[in-house]
Amino acid sequence: MTNRRILLLFILLPCLLAVSTGPLAADQGYEETMERARELRINGHFQESKKIYDTVLERNPEDVDALVGRGYCLLALGSSARALEDFSKAVDLAPDYVDAYVGQAKVRKRRGKWREAEEDLRECREALEGDEEKLRYLAKSAWREGFFRLARRLDREYPPEPSRELIERQNTMYLTYAYDWVEDRDNWRMERTTFVRRARPDLSWWVSLARYHRYGQQDNEVGAGAAYRFSHRVGVSYDGFLSNGNDFLADQRHQPKLRYALLPSTSVGIGADLLEYEGSWATLARLELEQGMGNWYGKYTLLAGRDSNNRYVDTSVFEIGYRREKSYRFRLGFSSGEESVEEGGAAHFSEDEIRSVYLGGRYLFAPAWGVTGSISREWRSSELFRTSASLSVFLRF
């Protein structure tokens, strides 16, 4: 009898262990898998992250965490339609899942449908009525996605924790070097250090210090500016610069601007460029029109007014560009304008026709650092004047 009991115990023990430890091991494996997918997504490895979410959803098509995670990967990879399907399914399965609503709003915002995006977040707010913790999380998400009026309203109703951070890396330091190969003259160069502070998505400010070397002389320039967005439609900015005045830089420059979104993907900017050279002012009006189309955009800028010689001048700039979220961007542009040049005294001027073409880009190697750069060529009166190149390394912390 005893031997039979011992034999039965040896037979049943593995089964009992499997039953008792199996779900725990499975849960641990699931948590590790989802955390791995999340880390990959946060660090910009969207394709690898998506593959993990695909595997999870093959086993359980109604896993809302995997649906939302895959939705954000698909959106980053440019598949907005499939991303919206995942987010919408997650909302149906979990009506109080904030990230699912935010994902829907993000897709609609990317398509230029701001009203529908705002409606998604209003529905989310109604679904969360009374849940203060989730409503604070919704406020934080609304800040990050640019729905500033809703975010401010939620902050008033449900004050956030003092330790809340809306932006993970609020400071950016740029180290810039530029070089100009000037035809038949000494070459130019410039070094600049810029610090940018962005503690909130609707507010940023910056300061800079630059040193220019031209014509055997050196000029130092300090700059500062700020930008504020009242809503996703309306924003204002100001940039200002002062130099120690060696003729080739303006003694001071002021650039105020108002931006307004006319349509979901169309914005207009109105401002001015005010420059002072030894007591004489150049006063130029600025008009900017920008049209978005998915990740692509086109932009036109017109500068027109009186220069420091009191002569009428204007410049037109045409630019197209592409932006890839958390990865890279590039832009290609062409400008055409004129500049008055004094010849033989204040009463005699010639008008140089100036044309240029440029190519610029930005690449994020990691969330904490990246590079920006540009190359350009400029012609004056149909003759090549200079070739320029610049490179900036930026650190985010």
- Give the range with max mean pLDDT: 7-11, 224-228, 311-315: 224-228
Helix (H, G, I), strand (E, B) or coil at 140: helix
Q: Is residue 343's pLDDT more than 80?
A: no
The better pLDDT of the pair 2, 278 is held by 278
How far is the C-alpha of 78 from the C-alpha of 50, rounded, in Å? Answer: 13
Q: Is residue 44's pLDDT more than 50?
A: yes
CA 117 from centroid of its chain's CA atoms: 19
Residues 6+ apart with CB under 8 A from 111: 80, 264
Q: Is residue 75's pLDDT more than 80?
A: yes
Give the end-to-end CA distance of the chain in Å, rounded to a whole number. Answer: 72
Instruction: Compute the radius of gyration of the chain from its Cα atoms.
Output: 28
Mean pLDDT of 63-87: 94
Give the tens place of pLDDT for each residue, 4-41: 555 554 555 444 444 433 433 345 588 999 999 999 99
The mean of the pLDDT values for the chain is 89
Give the tens place of pLDDT for each residue, 366-396: 889 999 999 999 999 899 999 999 999 999 9
Q: Which residue has the tokens 């100036």?
A: 354
Confidence tier at 349 by pLDDT (50, 70, 90): low
Name the helix (H) or strand (E) containing 98: helix 98-110
Please give the pLDDT value at position 129. Answer: 85
Tokens of 18: 């499997």
**For 178, phi and psi rounded to 5 degrees?**
-130, 145
The lowest-confidence range among 44-53, 168-177, 301-310, 343-352 is 343-352
Are 317 and 300 in contact by the 8 Å Cβ rule? The answer is: yes
Are 143 and 151 in contact by the 8 Å Cβ rule? The answer is: yes
Give the tens place of pLDDT for each residue, 145-158: 899 999 999 999 99
Please give the pLDDT value at position 199. Answer: 86
Please give the pLDDT value at position 19. Answer: 42
The lowest-confidence range among 76-90, 236-250, 292-306, 343-357 is 343-357
**For 215, phi and psi rounded to 5 degrees?**
55, 35
Which domains are assigned to the chain?
Answer: 25-157 (1.25.40.10), 171-396 (2.40.160.40)
Mean pLDDT of 86-112: 93
Q: Is residue 204's pLDDT more than 60?
A: yes
